[in-house]
Each structure stands twice: as structure tokens, then as C-alpha cells.
Amino acid sequence: MNLNKITSPIKSELSDFQKIFSGALKSNVALVDLITKYILKQKGKKVRPILVLLSAKLCGKISSRTYVAATLVELLHTATLIHDDVVDDAKTRRGLASINAVWKNKAAVLMGDFLLSKGLLVSLDNNEPEFLKATSEAVRRMSEGELLQIQKARNFDATEETYFRVISDKTASLIKTCCKIGAMSSTNDKSKIDNMAAYGENLGIAFQLRDDLLDYTGRKKLLGKATGNDLKEKKFTLPLLKALKNAPTKNSREIMKLIKSESHKKFDSVYYFVEEYGGIEYTQNKISEYADQALASLKSFSNNDSKESLAELVSFVSTREY
């Protein structure tokens, strides 16, 4: 399964969106224009505009309002990625040097601000205050989620409850918003809009759970060179949290001591601990649980190619290897 098959019902609309999005990035300032052209080279999967378009088509017809919604969320998402790279001191993004690596942090922060302002203007210029309200709520949740994660990493006191709050806020909130405003662009039916919002929330949680699982299982396959980015940043994700809860107190304390250390060889020990005490299996089961909830939100809709693609996207997110 791949995204080409999933996007087949909106192939022409996705192409139209790309042209509109490219136009929204234009600026009279040479440096801004140079950086935006570089951004367009960093071709991502475009999952968020895909969700907007498919949600709109499932609930009605894709219209000019749908393209406004898709442009707004992609501008917002791109802005947050640039800011994230500054915060994380990341040197690459989608196989290319990151904006901050090429133009330094000051330009990167300002570029993120520029894209955020463009997103706000897109909604206001097209008289879509409800789109702006929904995305502003997503930004608030994303920011709070990231800050809560930083707090828990510093204090080493994360729990499963706070973990799910973090991933719901920092990841699922924007995916939920994509589906919600996509539906809003083509229908006024509250039940349809609510169902698409629920689909997006559960899909987003499944997406982040899979991402956190791959930080263990994905790197384990790479010639034993398992480093674990989350462990480096002392992020307590679900596989580790569940293993710490299941393991004998003595073993958990030893692993906690290792995590707090600056040892570069700790990943393998933590990986085997997480696997032995059920963290991997538990997380896989949780992915399936949230995937099933996302699929359940689609049941009330008539069968068509958009519904099929949204269902396939759940499978893609839940089983992806990258």
C-alpha cells in the first residue's frame, strides 16, 4: 500500500492544491522567496492536505473553501516543522539540509513566523473565521503538548495518562483539525463534521504511537546501530512507560539510572528491557485500538472511493515502516 493509491480519488485536486500552495508562499523579499523555493524542494508526504481534500470529498464536494482549508493547515504545519528544527537543532529535513542549517536560527525562526502569518491571512482574506478558530485551537494544543513533554522529560515523572495527553495535543490536534475543516468546507452537517474530527483525532494518536514504536523497532533493524532519538532526548514514550510499569522495581530502577546517564551505549539495554516487559506488544495493541476507533468513525458514511482511501490511510499509518 502506498500514498499514490490512497490519493487516487483526489489526484487532480491535489495537483491544483500544490499550485495554490506554491502561490501562497510567494514574497517580494528576495531571501523569503529563496527560502520558500527551497521549502518546496523538501517534498513531504502531504498527509495533512490529503486529509483535508478526502474529508471534504467524503462529506460533499471539494470547493474553493477546501483549498483555503488545505493551504491554511499546510502553511501552519510547515511553520511548525521549521520551528521544531530550530528547537531540536536538527540539521536535516526530508533528506535535505534544514532551513536553520542553511540560513541559521534567526532566519529560520522568522521564516516560520512568516508562514504562520500567511496562514492567518489566508483564512481572514477568504472570510473563514471558523477555519482560523479551529487551527488556532490546534496551535494552542500543539504548544502545550510540547511544553508538557519537556516538563516531564526534565522531571522524569511521565505517566501513561500524561503521555496520551501529550500525543493527543502535539500530534493528533492538527490531524483532527485537517479532517474537521475539510468536512466544514463541504457540509454544514454537524454529525458528519464531528465524525471526521473523531476520525482525525484517533488517526493522529495511532500515527504518533507508530512513530514512537519505530524509534525502538525501526532502528533495531539497522545493523545493530540502534540509537533511539527519544531516549537521547529523555522522552518517555509508551513502550518504555509500559515496560517500567510491568518490570520488577529493581529492574526498573536500573533502567531509569541508565536512561539518566549520558551513556551512548544504553539503547540496546533499554530496547531489550522494553521488549522483555511487554512495551512493544502493548504499544502495537494500542495502535490497533486507535486504528479501529478511527475506522468506526467512518461507518456512518456512504461507501465511495474517498471513504476507501481514508480507511486505507488508517492501515498505512498503523503499519508504516518510516
Q: 3-class DSSP state for residue 92?
A: strand
pLDDT of residue 312: 95
Distance of CA 197 to the CA centre of its chain: 15
- Is residue 158 left, alpha or beta, with left meaning phi > 0 and alpha meaning psi from -120 to 50? beta
DSSP code for 93: E
- Gap between the Cα atoms of 273 and 262, Å rounded: 18
pLDDT on residue 104: 92
Q: Which pLDDT score, from 0 to 100, does residue 304 have?
A: 94
Look at residue 225 in the predicted model and tell me its pLDDT.
31
What pLDDT sits at residue 146?
87
pLDDT at 320 (0 to 100): 82
Q: pLDDT at position 76, please?
A: 92
Structure confidence at residue 220 (pLDDT) = 45
DSSP 129-166: HHHHHHHHHHHHHHHHHHHHHHHHHHHT---HHHHHHH
Cross-strand partners of 93? 96
Phi, psi of 267 (to 5 degrees): -60, -45
| Rounded Cα gap, residues 270 and 17, in angstroms | 44
C-alpha span between 255 and 226 (Å, rounded): 17
User: What gap in Å lies between CA 322 and CA 314, rounded to an integer?
Assistant: 15
Helical H segments across the chain, by residue range: 3-6, 11-24, 30-41, 47-59, 64-88, 99-125, 129-155, 160-167, 173-184, 190-220, 229-232, 238-246, 249-260, 266-276, 279-296, 305-319
pLDDT the model gives residue 40 = 85
CA–CA–CA angle 40, 68, 121 (5° rounding): 85
Angle between the 266-276 and 279-296 helix axes, to the nearest 10 degrees?
A: 70
Query: Is 179 in contact with 67 (CB distance < 8 Å)?
Result: no
Tens of pLDDT along the chain (322 residues) come to 577 889 999 999 999 999 999 999 988 999 999 999 888 887 777 889 999 999 999 999 999 999 999 999 999 999 998 988 888 788 888 778 889 998 999 999 999 999 999 999 999 999 999 999 999 999 999 999 989 988 888 777 889 999 999 999 999 999 999 999 999 999 999 999 999 999 999 999 999 999 999 988 875 444 233 446 777 777 889 999 999 999 999 999 999 888 887 666 677 888 899 999 999 999 999 999 999 999 999 999 999 999 999 999 999 999 887 6
Q: Indicate the pTM of the whole model.
A: 0.90
Cα angle: 283, vertex 51, 171; to 5 degrees: 40
CB 61 within 8 A of CB 53: no
What pLDDT is stored for residue 121 in this prediction?
94
